[in-house]
Amino acid sequence: MKTAGFDAWRLLFIVAALFLLTGGSQHPRGAMTQMLANPIWVQSHLLLLVGMLALFVGLIVLRRSTTLPPATGTWLRYAIIATALEVVEMAVHTAAVVDHANLAGGHATPVFTTHIVLSIIIYPIFAVTVIGLILAGMRERALGSAWIGWLGIIGAAAHGAAAPIVAGLGILEAGILFPIFMLFAFWLILAAVWPSRATARS
């Protein structure tokens, strides 16, 4: 599957990266109640949601349109499942804004709490599967390269650790891990334009 002579999955990787970078750069800062009250919350997370959705579709197109070496293909299947979970989490993440008043007033926050629980569980799963995909793709020269792989690995690892440390353990100083995820977006762009040994399926 190609678009104007360019593999569709490559285009989707770039689109995903641009939305992730734009949404991530707009993410509000401050205490949780301050961030939920910020009108940019919804816009920022909708952009991140679209970015994750574009990545999900891009991974599916990559699997369906190319013949990949065994390890890369296996980790790709895992990454597709994990990215689908990320899409669900990001949708709930965006909707957490409805609990701002409840959070500020010390009342029950079902949507916000669901987002926190999902992020603690899903972020590490996403990180492990994506890092596995990056490493397998590097070794089999099917996706990206060792020259750029470190960007994706550091970005994904930071993303995977952020929610468990910040939300799970309450170590707010580890919030610096969240923007490091943008390194993964840069990896997506570079991986999209990097030559690979993956062969197109007829």
Tens digit of each residue's pLDDT (9 = 90 or more) over 109-154: 999 999 999 999 999 999 999 999 999 999 999 999 999 999 999 9
Helix residue ranges, H only, the chain:
8-26, 32-37, 40-65, 70-95, 100-105, 110-139, 146-163, 177-180, 182-193
Report pLDDT digits (tens) over 165-190: 998 888 878 888 999 999 999 999 99
Domain that holds residue 82: 2-194
| Domains contained in the chain, number | 1
pTM, two decimal places: 0.92
138: in domain: yes
pLDDT at 73: 96
199: in domain: no
Quote the CA–CA distance of 163 and 149 in Å, as a whole number.
23
164: in domain: yes
